[in-house]
Structure 1
Amino acid sequence: MSATAQLTPRPKTVQDLKSRPSSVVFSLKLAIYFIVLAHGVFFTFSEFLIIRIVGVLLIGVMFAHGVELQHQALHYHGFKSKRWNVLFGIIVGIPMLVSFSGYQDSHLKHHRMLGTKENTEFFDYGDQYGFNSFQGIRSWFIRLFMPNHYGKFFQIAIKSVCGVSIRNVNEGVAKGVRREHLWMLAFIAALTAISVALHTWVIAWVWLAPLMLVAAPVHALIEMPEHYRCDLTSTDPLLNTRTIVSNAFMTWLTNGNNYHVEHHMMPALSIDRLQDLHASIEPSIRYHHLTYREFYWAVLRDRIVPRSVDTADTDAPDAETPVEVLSHAPEQTA
């Protein structure tokens, strides 16, 4: 064997991957989130309209990024402490009106049920997986601006205030959902009070406009590729889920959501290690794109098709067979 061949890095095997989260890395992610968010808020107080618009864009993008951080926390992949995952998972979800407990309960069911008729998702984008052949303006509006999500929020918020029971979840989850919806209502009330007291449009500039005009579309576009027009009759992540390699910026913005096949194949693997797993299973992924631009160009041309793969030459782990790394995952309870 040549010296060059010996120096060539080999993809990590399943046994090489570690699942323990890094509190330091997640703390840095949160620090960046809050710093950029603070700058966005500061910009919205500028006298210049263009700087205010930049502020709205920064805030909205961070709101969407926060939900991706919340996703990491609900898997307990952020901090080593479950309590800290829950606390910061709640905080980063408040701006987009996402209940940590409700999202966690729904999302973990989604992992178990994907590929079956029992599969559901927390966010309702209308034509969830793109099965309708005609994607009209109404369909895109529902997907990008998420009116169903806001409607669901206010329904549960009213139930939480009135003490009405929340269906389809156990009492422990329901308690968390009620608590978080009351916190989100308090957040809205506080912004409203500040706006009234200062006789300004603070609530519009730092929350409503970023949420509805930026965060919702960005979030929807981040999540749309996950299972869009994949083979949802199969329980195999290599067939029912999509990976987009993209670049370092998009991997940061989506918080690893672009490696979605890898996440569904090994949900107990830390988000920060999904790229390592990708090197081992990439040849077997049927729905695979190099960039988000490539994916959305295929969507617009209605040319979403699986690629041909050779499964004989890969050491990809069986998604339905327990592997060692999964046994180290923290207990996932709501």
Structure 2
Amino acid sequence: MSITTFTEEESRAIANRRTALRFLFFPLQIAAMVLIAHPWPGDHWSVQAFWVLVTSYLMFCWTSCFHETAHQTLFLSHRLSVALGRVLGWLMLVPYTAYRETHIRHHAYLNKPSDWELWPYSDPDSPLWFRRVFVWLDLLAGVFTAPVVYARIFFHRDSPLKPDQRRAVRWEYVGMALFWAAILGYVAYCNAWTTFLLVYVLPYYLAGVYQNGRKLTEHLGMISYDPMLGTRTVVGKSLWTKLCTFLNFDIFVHGPHHRHPRVSHDQLEKLTQEYVAAAEDGSLPIFRTYGAAVRDMAPWMVRNPGVGVNVGAAPPGASRRGEVDNFVADVTTEVLNA
């Protein structure tokens, strides 16, 4: 199990921020699920649909929380991050260690063939027809494709995982199997399949659509290997965009996060302002609404679902650090050979 090593300044930033309110999605989600199981204020289908949609969005917030546990920027204690990450991973059928190791390489090798997280879009050996089919499966059936994408780093013959990491993933799969055996056994005992489908399965399916829609919006069609130029960043001014960003630990502020994967999420908007001021020419792919970012991405869903080499980039150069197996402070200066 790799542990993120923070500088004193990075640790101080994590300790001094206010994060508790961002966890509101947990109790709100529980409440919404209860209101599906015990319909309120009535059992009309429109009321049920409303609470299912609310629950699905709050489940989507799980994925952003899971992301923070992988970076280990959520708490000062890495053990607490790992513990919460493993529970969330069981819920989403993605082993925590497999996700973390995949995500480390996603940051280090953004849009490159060695970006495991953006497979098959980053894989030059993946034919266009396959990517055109997979991208729609990825969007519409994310609850199935995400476990496959993150499992590749464990099952692939060229896996970079170390023996201790492979053991961790193996035991996380065992824990996942036991966890779901207990849940499904209890549902069967109570003969509550209809309620389970409405309370969990349907909202979770929709959350998978939102999550993979976010992934595609931030990455699909991006040619650059540079973290600021190779991702779409959303910094909105509307109350709705700010609320969604807040509940998702600022993951929409994606470019600065990709460049500085050890920086606490609450500092990312300030970093964005600094990079925009430094660029001056408006060349950074920064959007004021998520809808604008979606519109920029949408043609690539049909035209050419790819990133990097698959959308016209030159083959990437060698990394300055060789094999990167942990999060660094600044990807541009420490990893990119630029």
- TM-score > 0.5 by shorter chain: yes
The aligned residue for residue 204 of structure 2 is 211
Matches within 5 A, 1:172-251: 172-201=164-193, 202-212=195-205, 214-232=206-224, 234=225, 236-246=226-236, 247-251=241-245
Matched AA of 2:82 = V
Residue 216 of structure 1, CA deviation? 0.7
Distance change in 2, residues 1:76/1:281 (3 Å) = same
Matched, 1:29 2:22: yes
Q: In the alignment, is the contact (CA less than 8 A) between 1:113 and 1:119 conserved in 2? A: yes
How far apart are the structure 2 equivalents of 1:153 and 1:260? Answer: 20
Q: In the alignment, is the contact (CA less than 8 A) between 1:78 and 1:85 conserved in 2? A: yes
Residue 279 of structure 1, CA deviation? 1.0
Matched AA of 2:233 = T
How far apart are the structure 1 equivalents of 2:331 and 2:160? Answer: 27
How far apart are the structure 1 equivalents of 2:261 and 2:153? Answer: 28
Matched AA of 2:229 = L
The aligned residue for residue 280 of structure 1 is 274
Candidates 69, 73, 77, aligned match of 1:77: 73
Residue 137 of structure 1, CA deviation? 7.6
Residue 252 of structure 1, CA deviation? 2.0
How far apart are the structure 2 equivalents of 1:297 and 1:63? Answer: 24
How far apart are the structure 2 equivalents of 1:133 and 1:286? Answer: 30
Matched, 1:269 2:263: yes
Candidates 277, 296, 299, aligned match of 2:297: 299
Q: In the alignment, is the contact (CA less than 8 A) between 1:262 and 1:274 conserved in 2? A: yes
Q: In the alignment, is the contact (CA less than 8 A) between 2:64 and 2:248 conserved in 1? A: yes
The aligned residue for residue 254 of structure 2 is 260
- TM superposition score normalised by structure 2: 0.71
How far apart are the structure 1 equivalents of 2:330 and 2:16? Answer: 29
How far apart are the structure 1 equivalents of 2:152 and 2:196? Answer: 22
How far apart are the structure 2 equivalents of 1:203 and 1:154? Answer: 26
Distance change in 2, residues 1:149/1:321 (3 Å) = closer
- TM superposition score normalised by structure 1: 0.72
What SS does the aligned partner of 1:229 have? coil
Distance change in 2, residues 1:119/1:298 (3 Å) = closer
The aligned residue for residue 316 of structure 2 is none
The aligned residue for residue 6 of structure 1 is none
What SS does the aligned partner of 2:233 have? strand
Q: CA RMSD in A?
A: 3.6
Residue 190 of structure 1, CA deviation? 2.3
Residue 143 of structure 1, CA deviation? 2.5
The aligned residue for residue 317 of structure 2 is none
The aligned residue for residue 98 of structure 1 is 94
Q: Give the number of equivalent residue pairs.
A: 283
What SS does the aligned partner of 2:37 have? coil
Write the deviation string for residues 274-322 of structure 1: whole angstroms up to 9, x where unpaired: 0111110024353221111112223345699xxxxxxxxxxxx985336
How far apart are the structure 1 equivalents of 2:81 and 2:134? Answer: 37
How far apart are the structure 1 equivalents of 2:183 and 2:132? Answer: 35
The aligned residue for residue 287 of structure 2 is 289
Matched, 1:64 2:60: yes
Distance change in 2, residues 1:135/1:293 (3 Å) = farther
Residue 244 of structure 1, CA deviation? 1.2
Q: In the alignment, is the contact (CA less than 8 A) between 1:97 and 1:153 conserved in 2? A: no
The aligned residue for residue 326 of structure 1 is none
